[in-house]
Structures are given as C-alpha cells and as structure tokens.
Structure 1
Amino acid sequence: RLQGALRRGDWYKTKEILLKGVDWILGEIKASGLRGRGGAGFPTGLKPKYLVVNADEGEPGTCKDREIMRHDPHKLVEGCLVAGRAMGARAAYIYIRGEFYNEASNLQVAIREAYEAGLLGRDACGSGYAFDVFVVRGAGAYICGEETALIESIEGKQGKPRLKPPFPADVGVFGCPTTVANVETVAVAPTICRRGGAWFAGFGRERNSGTKLFNISGHVNNPCTVEEEMSVPLKELIEKHAGGVRGGWNNLLAVIPGGSSTPLLPKSVCETVLMDFDSLVQAQSGLGTAAVIVMDKSTDVVKAIARLIEFYKHESCGQCTPCR
C-alpha cells in the first residue's frame, strides 16, 4: 500500500528528481554504471515515446521481478515515472506474465493509489509532467519475453518476434519509439537519482557495479531471493543467504548461475567465481537473470538439462528455421 511505500522511502523527493530534467537523470544513471537487469546487461544510460516494462518473467528458476511486484509495487510504479521522464515518454506499459495474477492485482492497486495521490496523471507529483501507467497481462507464452514479441502482444497480435531492423527504439509500440526495460532496472532508477550515481557505483567492481537481486533455488537449505552487491563470490552468496548446499559444500555437483539458459558451472569453478557479468563470461557462462540453481551430487545432470530443453522446445513459437 501507498503509506507503507512512503515509510520505506518510495516517492521521496520524486518531484525534485523530475524537475531536474532529462539530462540530470540520464547523467546519474550513466554515472551509476547500471547495466540492464534482464539478462543481456546492456548499459542502461545509452538506451534511447513509450516505455515498456518487461515483467514477463517466464524462465524456470527466475522470480526476482515477481518479488518486486508482490512486495513493493510502488517502487516499480515510481521507477516508471522517473525512467519515463528520462526518455521523454508520456506513458508506460507494464507487460506482466499471465500467471502473476496477485502481482498484477498489486500493481493495479498501486497505480490507482498513485493516481489518487496525484503522483501520476496530468501533473505527476506536481511537476507539470504528464505521465500514465498501464498494466497489460500476457497469456503465459515464454516467447513474449522477447521485446518485439512482447510489443506484438501489447498491440493485441500473436506473440511472435518481429524481424529487425527496424528496432523498437525507432518503431515500437503502435509504431512509436519505444524503450523496453526490465522490472529490476526500472525499479532501481529512483533510488539512484536520490542517492546519486556514485553511491550506486560504489558497490561491486568496475563495469559490474551496483546491487542485484539473486534467486537461489535447488539443493540449498533456504531457497530465497536476496539483494546483494555485484561481484559477490558465488560460494559466499549460497552459504550466507541460502543456508549452504544441502549436505554441505562438498556435496555440491554444479550450479546454473544465471537462469536455465546459461551454461552450468562445475564445483571447481564455483569455489572462486564472482557473480557478475565479466567474471561469469570468463567462466564460459553468464549472469543472465541471476537465478542461481544449485545441484547436489544426487542430481542426474543429463535428465536435468533434458527437462530444461523440453521447456524451450515447448515454448518455441516455431517462427525461425532453427526451432522448427
């Protein structure tokens, strides 16, 4: 609810942030070193009049965005306003996975409260800036997590990726320039503006700065979603927040570090690898969505990977030749 969000610091000095203008907001986000949190890791400040928020979180083991929408939806709504101001947008569309019924309801309540409090609408936060936020529910297709398929779905069409170019930055929703961003990326924007880009960049290491939401699931004692700084050692992340590997660290077989689409890491690599973009690329894997799936020695790795392959086979739209 709004009162709880206000007590947590959401919507604090948002009017001041909006009045400082586009250049200042973009400058702070660039200074923070924030990279997109949806998996690809693009530098956010370099992205180009609609804002589309990708909340179609359908990958096995990934549920970080769900936690934001479930427990703190106002953080996302405020983030839409700040990010929208930065790109000169007049509206944001939050495209949410169809199965996230309660989360979609939470967002609708938060948006209604924001309108009633004058935080959204024709004079958002009293800044003179007009901005609207809409929620669009998907139908559960994993392919709609791809940005152009998501845009097609918002427009009421079949959720299949478009040929590129043109890119969404030129021809996006309803033929208008569009920026597609991840929930976590958008939600952190107001905090960066309030505390400063240098503060955010103080976490992690160069090119891998800031904080990150990590999902930890599988054979651990305490599966959880936790916010930690980038470049935290994988072993520390598992033992500190997830209660360690079931049966002890020596019972570890392998870890999928960034969601089901990233290559798994054997125990020998997990001993020292850091949880950030560059370190995991060097380890021949990737940070992806930062959904850590832990496998102990009872796991049949071939069966586990075959099950993931079956998911992607089922969710393929069949449009491109390799999938057919």
Structure 2
Amino acid sequence: MPTFEPVLLARINKPDSHKLETYQRDGGYEALKKALDMSPADVTNLVKDSGLRGRGGAGFPTGLKWTFLPKDHPGPIYLCINADESEPGTFNNRILMEQDPHQLIEGIAIACHAIRSKSAYLYLRYEYGRSYRVLDAAIKECYAAGILGKNIFGKGFDLDIVLHRGAAAYICGEETGLIESLEGKRAWPRIKPPFPAIEGLFRKPTIVNNVETLCCVTHIVSRGKEWFRSIGVQPDPNNPRDPGSLGPKLYTVAGHVNNPCCVEVPLGITARELIDNHAGGVWKGRKAKAVVPGGISMGFLSASELDTPLDFNGPGKAGCLGLGTAAVVVVDDQTSMVDVLYNCCRFFAHESCGQCTPCREGTNWMTRILERIRSGQGEMRDLDLLTEVAGSMGIIPGTTICGLSDGAAWPVKNAIQKFRGDFEEYIRNGKKSVTPYPVGAH
C-alpha cells in the first residue's frame, strides 16, 4: 500500500493538541469559516458528493441522511453526536475526543450549519472521564473565543453544544435509544418510522452522526470532495447501488497482538496487513485462529480469510455482518472459540434492553446453552439449537425493533459455521473451561 499521511490523527502527538490555541495555529476553524460562506444546501451537497459514509457502524451515506430532513421546517432542528462507543474493542472515538477535540467541535459546527441546527447534543459514554474533561474544557474555550454561542464569526450563525454523559448502555449506540436517553427516559429504541430525521429528539427533526464521521466533515470542507474521493475503494462500476468505501478510516487493533493500536489508513486495508504491519503480529509467536473485523457484533473472519478487505463490502462477502466500527480483535490459535463465543453472548445478554422478547430471551438462552457446553454437559444438538435461536431474532428476520439482536446473533451463527469442529471437539471431550472471563471480556 502506498505511503499514507494521516489526517484525522495528524495532530494527536503534538504538545497541547487538545487546546484551542494550538488547533488554530494549525489552521483550525478555517473550514468552519469557509462553510459559513456557503449555503447550507451547498455544504450538504459537498458532503453528499464526497461519498462520506457514517463511521459509527452502519455505513449510511452521511450527506444523503442530511437531505432526509423536512424542507423549510421552521425548527428547531437538532444534531445528536453519538460518542457512546460501547462496541467491545473500539477506541477510535476516544482518541479523537481526548487528543483533538476541536477537530470534532469544528465538524459539529459545520454539520449544524448544513442542517440549519442551532443546538447540538454530544452524547458521551459515561466511563470516558478524560474525554468528558477535555471536551468540556474545549467547549468552554470556544464559547470564550466566540466560536460557539451567538453570531459566530459575525456570520449570523448561532450554535450551542450540550455535553451529555450517558449511563453507559450499549443500546444507546442505536439512534433512537440514544434519543430516548437524552430525553431522560429508559433507552428503549423506538419503532420506525418515523425516523429521527422526521421526528427525533423532543419530537423534532434530528440528525444523529458519529464522532469520526463529523471529524471527516471538517476535512472534506477544508480539502474538498475530490481529495476525499481519491482515498479508499471506488464504487463498483457494475453495481449502481455501491457508493464505494471512500476516505480515510481509523482502525483499532486489540486482542492477541504484540502492539494494540489505533491507526489511520485508507478504507480497504486487509486484516492481515493491519495485524502484521501495524499491530506487530500475533503475540507469543502464535497464529491467528479468528479475527473480529469491526466489533464482536460483526462476527468472525477465519484464518483463511485474513486477506479480506476491511471496507464496507469486504467483511460481508466473508460471512460477517459488515465493517462495523472497524475494531479488529485478534484471537490466537490456542484460545477456545467456545470461550470466545460465550463471552460475546454474555455481553449481549447483559446489554439487551429487554424491550423485544426475541432479543431479551434469545440472548439469555444462547448464553445458558454455552454455559452448559462450557460446564462439560453439552450435546451435539446444542449447536443446532444455538443456530436456530440465533436465526430467529433481529431486524433481519423481522422480529425486533433495533439491530442489537442481529449483532448478538451474528457471531453465534458465524462461529458455529466456521469453527464447528472446535465446538464438536469441545463437546465430545466433555471439556470444562478454566477461563471464566476470556480475553476481551467487557
């Protein structure tokens, strides 16, 4: 792969990178001034034409999402920033917020101008104490400098940012669950439609974007759509529905590697390249048995699938749910997939909000079946039972309101399909696990 110069992470190792003074010295908030000289429609079209897709997991085209807002709505219109980052193995948003918060604030302001919003709510994961302190200080700096508040840069643009600490629930990564939590209610996802762009926060039109997505917006306005489109994987000319996987992406690599890290590279790098070239290879001289491509809800790549491109299409072709948050987790060849899958199921059973019966009961039953297998009392039919339960829950089969249960079911279906021999051997030998909390326990 040609040498790539980081953009999103360009400033993180500079002294005082989190301060307004150093950010402005590096050209910070010039993109916002440029955007404020453009009409909201022009900014929206710029982002739409850049091909930016949401970095939070679903990969939906960002500019297209902004166009879903009602035309000529009298307001208010809200922007919600998803900084909950609860997907296990994911820590790219935390680095952006703690090391370069003004990059995010500038992206928020540009997005608010584009969607004609005067209020933004930054929903932050509660455990991110340092992120809260850094963001709070950065927002106060902006108010003091006139970058937030009334008549920003004398352009007649008003914006307030509210920093809100969530209660640390995985379900708050779902747009409407986040909105319900912001409104002070239990974070139960809403039935859709209406979608948030029509009726969201406080029943007003709302856009929900991820932290990394909004940081990309800053650079698209600054550098142009052609720059952004020159990076990553171009759209398939034979598939008019493929928008491509364009732009830089932050990948985190954790688990059984020598150098857990967060790296910025063009979309489309392979899992093997990430592990060998950036994470120092698999630890202890071992080999990879399985690799999570983007958070445990995406499922697993087998050792023979490590050359899969990690773009928005690649993992799906290898039987995974998608790219997700691009949080790569490596499992070495001496780790039991039974333990790994049990840990996944235990997490989702704990994080299910309980609103939908298939998710509430299904995640619990999958966990209990795996507990039985790990206790040495498993039967071969348990594998088919696990697959049956997993196949009966989620948006994909049409049984739940949100996609948490799809994320809970996918690693089960995926692991049993690709590593069935491991499970059968485990059951055949009546093996009892001695690892109550396998690697990656949340």
TM-score interval for Structure 1 and Structure 2 normalised by the shorter chain: over 0.9
Q: Secondary structure at the match of 1:123?
A: strand
Q: Which residue of 1 aligns with 2:302?
A: 266
1:4 pairs with 2:26: no
Question: Aligned equivalents of 1:16 and 1:56: distance in 2?
Answer: 30
DSSP 3-state at the match of 1:53 = strand
Judged with a 3 Å threshold, the aligned counterparts in structure 2 of structure 1 residues 253 and 201 are, in CA distance, closer, same or farther, namely same
Aligned to 1:27: 45
Count of residue correspondences: 322
Task: Give 1:297's aligned residue.
Answer: 333
Distance 1:152 1:63 in 2: 24
Relative to structure 1, is the Cα distance of residues 8 and 237 closer, same or farther in structure 2, using a 3 angstrom cutoff?
farther
Task: Pick one of 36, 42, 52 that aligns with 2:60.
Answer: 42
- How many angstroms apart in 1 are the aligned matches of 2:315 and 2:154? 44
Amino acid at match of 1:291: A
Deviates more, 1:65-74 or 1:11-20: 11-20
Letter in 2 for 1:31: D
Q: How does 1:111-190 map to 2 (within 5 A)?
A: 111-190=139-218
Match for residue 275 of structure 1?
310
Between 1:92-101 and 1:12-21, the stretch displaced more is 12-21
1:233 counterpart residue number: 270
> What percentage of residue pairs aligned between the two structures are identical?
48
- 1:196: which partner in 2? 224
- Divergent runs of 4+, >6 A: none
Counterpart Cα distance in 2 of 1:225 and 1:12: 27
Please state whether the residue corresponding to 2:150 is helix, strand or coil: coil
CA distance in 2, matches of 1:279, 1:8: 36
Deviations 1:244-299 (A, max 9, x none): 22245x711110011010110111110x2111011111111121000000111121
Higher RCO (CA 8 Å, separation ≥ 6 residues): 1
The CA deviation at 1:149 is 1.2
Residue of structure 2 equivalent to 1:315: 351
1:192 is aligned with what amino acid? I
SS in 2 for 1:107: helix
What is the distance in 2 between the residues matched to 1:278 and 1:18? 35
1:46-75: CA deviation from partner (whole Å, max 9, x where unpaired): 113100001111121111111111111111
Residue in 2 that maps onto 1:217: 254
Structure 1: gaps (5+ residues) = none
> Aligned with 2:191: secondary structure?
coil
After the TM superposition, which of the residue ranges 18-27 and 146-155 deviates more from structure 2? 18-27
C-alpha distance after superposition, 1:201-243 (max 9, x if no partner): 1111110110111110011111011111101122112222111
Cα drift, residue 13 of structure 1: 4.1
**Distance in 2 (alpha carbons) for counterparts of 1:293 and 1:157:** 33
Give the deviation of 1:144 after TM superposition.
Answer: 1.3
Alignment-mate amino acid for residue 44 of structure 1: T
Query: 1:52-67 counterparts in 2 under 5 A?
Result: 52-67=80-95
- Match status 1:86 vs 2:114: yes
For the 8 Å contact 1:83–1:189, the answer to whether it is kept is: yes
Aligned partner letter, 2:125: R
Supply the distance in 2 between the matched residues of 1:224 and 1:4 (Cα, whole angstroms): 25
CA shift at 1:155, angstroms? 0.9
Change (3 A) 1:8 1:297: farther
The CA distance in 2 between the partners of 1:85 and 1:172, in whole Å, is 18
| Contact 1:73-1:106 within 8 A present in 2 as well | yes
Structure 2 match to 1:246: 283
Give secondary structure in 1 for the equivalent of 2:277: helix
Give the structure with the higher percent strand: 1
Letter in 2 for 1:24: D
Distance 2:158 2:37 in 1: 12
- State the AA in 2 paired with 1:201: R
Distance apart, 1:27 and its partner CA: 2.1
Tell me which amino acid in the other structure corresponds to 1:289: T
| TM-score (norm. length: structure 2) | 0.71
Q: Please tell me whether the aligned partners of residues 92 and 252 of structure 2 are also in contact (alpha carbons under 8 angstroms).
A: yes
Work out whether residues 269 and 283 of structure 1, in 8 Å CA contact, stay in contact via their aligned partners in 2: yes
Q: Deviations over 1:6-53 (max 9, x none)?
A: 234321242122111212212221222110001000011111310000
Tell me the distance in 2 between the aligned counterparts of 1:30 and 1:319.
35
Q: Is the 8 A contact 2:56 2:324 kept in 1?
A: yes
Distance, in Å, in 2 between the alignment partners of 1:26 and 1:9 is: 22
Which stretches in structure 2 are left out of the alignment for 5+ residues? 1-18, 69-76, 235-243, 361-442
Aligned amino acid, residue 243 of structure 1: G
